Amino acid sequence: MNSLIQNDVTAVILAGGRGQRLGGLDKGLVQIEGKPLIEHILAAMAGQADEIIINANRNCDVYAAYKHRVVSDEMTGYQGPLAGFAAAMTACDTDFIVTLPCDGPFVPADLVNRLVEALEQENADIAVAHDGKRMQPVYALITRSLLPDLQDFLDGGERKIDIWYARHNTALADFSDVRETFFNINTEDDKRALLDREQMT
């Protein structure tokens, strides 16, 4: 892996959603194995990036207790992951951000490595995880120089992440061998499935 890129990456944990399908719960604070999901994600990302930012729009004091910067969306009304991308890109000092959700506890130890390799191989501006069947758009490595374009996109009323990616040279990073990476908790059924899975291991 290009160490220059590795040392120039801010990890952005996306915890800014409404959690509507989970009864409005803040998904990053849902307890799994006796600790909030955010703690699982932080542990998995330790050493994978130069800095970690938590993108949150509520419970910011709770997230701040983890001693990482907490950045809220500049746009109001829970405008989706791209708004979180823009807020983090505005706040960070590195040339790249890597994004991932707060509710996917199975983060591989080489998440950033795989994304960097795909970015370099394609000489791309964005690298997005692919599970072998579909793109997983919130797992991405993005060049921070795209911030002005992203802000223009959002200012124009656009919110769809795949449409924004299509505007740029986007590489796909192969994660087909670790598809469990993309198991996340959107509903109570997902939460029960995760708890059942943990009890079986």
Rounded to an integer, the average pLDDT of 106-130 is 96
To which H or E segment does residue 193 belong?
helix 188-200
Number of domains making up the chain: 1
Q: Which pair of tokens denotes residue 197? A: 């899975």
Can you give the CATH number for the domain in which 33 is found?
3.90.550.10
- What pLDDT was estimated at residue 91? 97
Give me Rg for the CA atoms of the chain: 16
105 CB contacts (<8 Å, ≥6 apart)? 32, 37, 40, 41, 44, 183, 194
Query: Vertex 4, ends 177 and 165: CA angle to 5°?
Result: 55
Q: What is the span of the domain harbouring residue 31?
A: 3-200
Average pLDDT over residues 144-163: 96
- pLDDT surpasses 80 at 201: no
Nearest to 57 by CA among 38, 76, 42: 76
pLDDT for residue 199: 46
pLDDT band at 7 (very low <50, low <70, confident <90, very high): confident
**Mean pLDDT across the stretch 128-155?**
97
Identify the pLDDT of residue 24: 62
CB 128 within 8 A of CB 134: no
The string of pLDDT tens digits covering residues 25-83 is 888 998 888 899 999 999 999 999 989 999 999 999 999 999 999 999 987 777 889 99
C-alpha–C-alpha distance, residues 127 and 141, integer Å: 5
CA angle 167, 139, 20 (to 5 degrees): 100
For residue 151, pLDDT beyond 70: yes
Q: At residue 197, does pLDDT exceed 90?
A: no
